Amino acid sequence: MNGTVELIIDGKPITLPTFLGTEGEVGIDIATLRSKTGAITLDPGYGNTGACKSAITFIDGEKGILQYRGYDIAELAQKSTFIETAYLLIYGELPNAAQLAGFSGMLTENEMLHEDMRHHFEGFPPSAHPMAILSSMINAASSYHPNLIHAREEHFPCHAARLISQVRTIAAFSYRKAHGLPSIYPKTTLKYTENFLHMMFSYPGEDCELKPEIVKALDLIFLLHADHEQNCSTSTVRMVASSRANLFASASAGVCALWGPLHGGANQAVLEMLEEIHKEGDDGTKFLNEVKNKTGNRRLMGFGHRVYKNFDPRAVIIKEQCDKVLGQLHKSDPLLDIAKKLEEIALHDEYFVSRKLYPNVDFYSGIIMRAIGIPVDMFTVLFAIGRMPGWVANFKEVMDDRDSRISRPRQIYTGATLRSYKPLAERA
């Protein structure tokens, strides 16, 4: 039900419309605020600002709820796959058998990069971060598809499938490049996540073993990261898309935003924290005591979440898979032992429980990726692979909205007032 709200600004009343989201969220439409009053809102970080209406993902941070297109994340994690969930996010409904087969077929058809792109990889130094390569190569890939520039609606399904498929090929090639290994081409007989692992870890003439528990764990990581409402990178994709930039350019911008340590780099920060603890000969107990006592300038990474004030629903799901993977791999790793110790203490210590500092999805995903042999500098790249369907869905939503306008935030100016230019000789 829509309504109105009355505000008093400089002693003058103004009536603004309100609207109600399908899950009960109330929004105040301030589109006419500046034209009617000359005032704007100030909301650093946009924590209280709705930049768009979206039908893709719903989050209730207080209750620990995450839903994709109305489906609870726990049910999707149990019953769906990453590719089926990607279709759901982009097109709004779960696919039937024919639609899923068609979507999967388009992914297979578009998994190969243009052969000339191999020369682009050779231009990066061995020390290049995989995220730098990923963002650059996504943009470069668009130049091989001139009809992207026209962004015609009928081309969208092909471009969407091409991006989602090729992002894992680019990621795997960048890993092989950084480690001086020959590139491994995708196989048409393998499914999405299997193919990524094949391109990462196989050798010419010798395919890697694709253990079902590892494939399942990585597919789950992709699924759990597929979308997360209006986070920094998704908002970046939407802002770039609002200028009518093409899908690949918008996604490349999303990769750059995701690269930040406060966003996609969180699971990498978890492993760096574990390495620091290990170097000090600690099992995690001393570290957590210093966190509690606020000594040693300790930062606890992978615990708590800005959005979820109770628990991260994705962490509950991935913890079970984490335990399975570690149990089945029989992995002996001191960092994994420290991680399990941190988890055990934090889940039972009143200090952490009362502050709702539970392990989040970054904590467990980092542990799983380390266990299956993913290098730390590739963690954020895998996050980008998982998040790609959400970015594509948000891009599509912007393009489908006939009333959308180019994003153009306002500001509160705090600089110098008008002053006159002084010749160089007169300046102090």
pLDDT in tens, 232-261: 999 999 999 999 999 999 999 999 999 988
Mean pLDDT across 217-241:
96
Residues 6 or more apart whose Cβ sits within 8 Å of residue 81: 219, 223
- Determine which one of 362, 377, 400, 401 is catalytic: 362
Torsion of CA 132, 108, 318, 298, to 10 degrees: 0
CA distance 184 to 198: 8
Mean pLDDT for all residues in the chain: 91
So what's the pLDDT on residue 2? 77
Count, residues in the chain: 428
Contact present, 189 and 80 (Cβ < 8 Å): no
313-330: per-residue pLDDT in tens?
998 898 888 888 888 887
Long-range Cβ contact pairs of 57-62 (< 8 A, separation 24 or more): 57/89, 57/227, 57/228, 57/229, 57/390, 58/22, 58/23, 58/229, 59/228, 59/229, 59/307, 60/23, 61/305, 61/307, 61/308, 61/309, 61/310, 62/309, 62/310
Mean pLDDT across 226-235:
96
Structure tokens at 40: 């704007």
- Determine which one of 159, 228, 305, 312 is catalytic: 305
CA distance 264 to 387: 10
Q: Residue 1's pLDDT band (boundaries 50, 70, 90)?
A: low
One fold for both 66-257+385-400 and 266-371? Answer: no
CA distance 63 to 56: 19
Contact present, 377 and 217 (Cβ < 8 Å): no
Question: What would the CATH number be for the domain defined by 66-257+385-400?
Answer: 1.10.580.10
Residue among 9, 5, 13, 6 nearest 38 (CA): 9
So what's the pLDDT on residue 320? 85
Question: pTM of the entire structure?
Answer: 0.92
Q: Residue 118's pLDDT band (boundaries 50, 70, 90)?
A: confident
So what's the pLDDT on residue 151? 61
So what's the pLDDT on residue 48? 87
Q: Residue 153's pLDDT band (boundaries 50, 70, 90)?
A: confident
Task: Verify whether residue 263 is a known catalytic residue.
Answer: no
Q: Domain coordinates of the chain in residue numbers?
A: 3-61, 66-257+385-400, 266-371
Of the ranges 65-74, 177-186, 259-268, 340-349, the best mean pLDDT one = 65-74
So what's the pLDDT on residue 161? 97
DSSP summary character for residue 284: S
Contact present, 227 and 66 (Cβ < 8 Å): no
Domain 3-61 has CATH 2.20.28: yes
So what's the pLDDT on residue 99? 98
Question: What would the CATH number be for the domain defined by 266-371?
Answer: 1.10.230.10
Q: Residue 339's pLDDT band (boundaries 50, 70, 90)?
A: confident
CA distance 112 to 98: 23
The separation between the first and the last C-alpha atoms of the chain, rounded to the nearest angstrom, is 63
Mean pLDDT across 344-361:
88
| pLDDT higher than threshold 60 for residue 340 | yes
So what's the pLDDT on residue 20? 86
So what's the pLDDT on residue 406? 95
Task: Verify whether residue 305 is a known catalytic residue.
Answer: yes
DSSP-assigned letters across all residues of 382-424:
HHHHHHHHHHHHHHHHHHH-TT-----------S--------G
Structure tokens at 288: 């957590």
Weakest-pLDDT range from 136-140, 312-316, 397-401:
312-316
Query: How much of the chain exceeds pLDDT 90, in percent?
Result: 60
